[in-house]
Amino acid sequence: QKEVEQNSGPLSVPEGAIASLNCTYSDRGSQSFFWYRQYSGKSPELIMFIYSNGDKEDGRFTAQLNKASQYVSLLIRDSQPSDSATYLCAVRAQYGNKLVFGAGTILRVKS
C-alpha cells in the first residue's frame, strides 16, 4: 500500500462546477497535510495546508481533513480553466520535516 494515494485522473469538470480531489494516507501519526498545484513543466505551488480535523476555507478552495478515516480532500468551487493542473497531496509525519507526496490528480476544467 502506498503511503499517500490519489486517483490519477484525469478528473474533468465543466467551468463553474465544483471539483473534488481526494487523498488517503496510511500513517495515523501524520500531522500536517498539504495541497500543491503543479502546472505542466513548472514546480509545485502551495495552495493550502490543514492540520486540524474539519474544514479550512481560502477563497474558492476548501480543504477537508478526517484523521479517523485518514482522508483529506480539496474542493475547488467555481472551477476555472486556469485551475487545470495536477494537484499533489503531501503529508508530514508526526516527527521530522519530511513530506510524502502522492502521485497527483490531473484536473481538467472545460469551458
Binding site for another protein (CB under 8 A): 4, 8, 32, 34, 42-46, 49, 51, 88, 90, 92, 97-99, 101-104
45 dihedral zone (left: phi>0; alpha: psi -120 to 50; beta): beta
**Least distance from C-beta 19 to another protein, angstroms?**
19
Q: Output 17 or 70, the one with its CB closest to another protein.
A: 70
Report the distance separating Cα 94 and Cα 74, nearest Å.
22
Nearer of residues 19 and 90 to another protein, judged by Cβ: 90
The answer to whether residues 19 and 107 touch, using CB atoms and an 8 Å cutoff, is yes
Could you tell me the end-to-end alpha-carbon distance of the chain, in angstroms, rounded to an integer?
A: 36
Least CB distance from residue 101 to another protein, whole Å?
Answer: 4
Output 51 or 71, the one with its CB closest to another protein: 51
